[in-house]
Amino acid sequence: MYNPPDYYLVDELLTDEHKIIREAIREWVNRSVMPIIDDAAQNHTFPQHLIKEMGEIGAFGPYIPEKYGGAGLDQVAYGVIMTELERGDSAIRSAASVQTSLVMYPIYEFGNEEQRMKYLPSLASGDLIGCFGLTEPNHGSDPGGMLTRFEEKEDHYLLNGSKMWITNSPVADIGVVWAKDEEGIVRGLIVEKGMEGLTAPETLNKWSLRASLTGELVFDNVKVPKENLLPNVKGLKGPLKCLNSARYGIAWGAIGAAMDCYDTALRYSLERKQFNKPIASFQLQQKKLAEILTEITKAQLLAWRVGTLRNDNRATPAQISMAKRNNVDMALKIARESRQMLGAMGITGDFPMMRHMMNLESVITYEGTHDIHLLITGFDVTGISAFE
């Protein structure tokens, strides 16, 4: 039975509502994710049937107002949900991150009322699947160099270019795509499945996030109706604001993967005997457990604090960036350490560590690589950009 650590009584910082939400999501993860996730990852298949269920449990757009199908919850509630989902698998949290922070958030924040009413309720329920196209084959860490372009025609925009590494693009009904206009200004456009000239081939052969679908978005003279332009943002800050929300969710999510690893390693080390003693009695194993627990506790406090700052609209992009970087790095190291505590058993699919470890290699890369986040903090404290 999963028994996540709470060494500093962080639970006391949560409201009753947060705890009720957490229990509901945890119960769903136990029931719907745990029994199938190892097979899905081993077989490199996305459990798409979970999307509707995720809509039903409120995993999509929890902080979007109820009027648009969300739950109108605070940022800590969003974080708590992400922790529980990523305990199941980073692929499940990814699906919720993209739908909430990268598709619903920009439509809510930068869209007009018609666009909000047209898309948000169906995205919240999981009737529509969304994706987010920023990264291109030759522009990952530097999205400002993007080549995807659109031109204004009489009654539509003509979109050309391509996006790569796009979560859920092969099954997405809509995509929020970032492209440059004729003046070179980055704008957001909503593309829809079935538009002529739009294809979304799957990217195969991944060793990481194998239960998540990844693909391309290729635009070959796609005619995008004028009403699909997001009117209320111009420039790279549009997509980067979406990333703030997603990175924040990941800072919480990674804790779930780390807790799953810690909980598994602690139980295993108490049961597994070598030299006639539980391996938990050996000092080197205790050192690992103590360090893992310490890192999880620090990550919990970081996530909680950045959540309360976000609730007050005071969290800076650089603070969010630090929490994403630290917590994902922490989880990846913990997956590796805890896997070693299981010896050979740790490499099997009977335990979650190897799956979490491989997933976290993507998580430490997407939404800004670890090194890019170091440079964001570097810029913040020195005032000197390493990117120019």
Binding residues vs ligand FAD (CB under 6 A) = 98, 132-135, 140-141, 165-167, 209, 214, 362, 365-366, 368-369, 371-372, 375, 387
- Contact indicator for 339, 346 with CB cutoff of 8 Å: yes
99 binds, options ligand TGC, ligand FAD, none, Cβ within 5 to 8 A by partner type = none
233 binds ligand TGC (CB under 6 A): no
Catalytic residues: 367
Partner interacting with residue 144 (select from ligand TGC, ligand FAD, none; CB below 5-8 Å by kind): ligand TGC
Q: x/- string (CB under 6 A) for ligand TGC, residues 105-144?
A: ---------------------------x-xx-----xxxx
Q: What are phi and psi of 197, to 5 degrees?
A: 90, -5
Complex with ligand FAD: residue 18 or 355, whichever CB lies closer: 355
Shortest Cβ 362–ligand FAD spacing (Å): 4
Q: Which partner in ligand FAD, ligand TGC, none is near 300 (CB below 5 to 8 A by kind)?
A: none
Among residues 115 and 135, whose Cβ is nearest to ligand TGC? 135
Give strand pairing partners of 189.
177, 229
Cα–Cα dist 322/286, whole Å: 28
- The tokens of 157 are what? 């925009």
Q: Shortest gap between Cβ of 132 and ligand FAD (angstroms)?
A: 5
Q: Residue 275 CB, nearest distance to ligand FAD (Å)?
A: 42
Asked whether the CA dihedral 161, 164, 169, 170 is positive or negative, the reply is positive
Distance CA 386, CA 372 (A): 9
Q: Name the H helices within 64-153.
A: 75-88, 90-97, 105-110, 113-125
Of 44-52, 66-74, 346-354, 368-376, the window that binds ligand TGC (rule: CB under 6 A) is 368-376
Report the distance separating Cα 334 and Cα 86, nearest Å. 14
When the beta carbons of 91 and 261 are compared against ligand TGC, the nearer one is: 91
Cα–Cα distance measured from residue 190 to residue 174, given in angstroms and rounded to the nearest whole number: 7
Output Rg (C-alpha) for the chain, integer angstroms.
Answer: 21
3-state secondary structure at position 239: helix
Alpha carbon distance 380, 100 (integer Å): 27
231 binds ligand TGC (CB under 6 A): no
> 345-378 in b/e burial notation, b at 16+ Cβ within 10 A?
ebeeeebbbbbbbbbbbbbbbbbbeeebbebbee
Residue closer to ligand FAD (CB basis): 33 or 250? 250
Shortest distance, position 284 Cβ to ligand FAD, whole Å: 32
Stretch that binds ligand TGC, among 41-49, 92-100, 276-284, 328-336 (CB under 6 A): 92-100
Nearest residue to 296 (alpha-carbon basis) of 342, 327, 337, 251: 327
Q: Which of 32, 75, 97, 264 binds ligand TGC (CB under 6 A)?
A: 97
**Binding at 166: pick from ligand TGC, ligand FAD, none (beta carbon under 5-8 Å per type):** ligand FAD
Which tokens go with 197?
Answer: 């000239």
Nearer to ligand TGC, 14 or 257 (CB): 257
Task: Report if residue 327 touches ligand TGC, rule: CB under 6 A.
Answer: no
Contact stretch for ligand TGC (CB under 6 A) within 19-27, 119-127, 237-245, 254-262: 237-245
**How many residues of this chain bind ligand TGC (CB under 6 A)?**
25
The answer to whether 360 and 329 are in contact (CB under 8 A) is: no
Contact residue for ligand TGC among 137, 201, 235, 343 (CB under 6 A): 235
Q: How far is the CB of 165 from ligand FAD (least distance, A)?
A: 4
45, 335 Cβ separation under 8 angstroms = no
Classify each residue of 305-316 as buried b or exposed e, where b means 16 or more C-beta atoms within 10 Å of its C-beta. Answer: ebbebbeeeebe
Residue 74 partner contact from ligand FAD, ligand TGC, none using kind-dependent CB cut-offs of 5 to 8 Å: none
* Contacts to ligand TGC by CB under 6 A: 94, 97-98, 132, 134-135, 141-144, 167, 235-237, 240-241, 243-244, 317, 366-368, 372, 376, 387
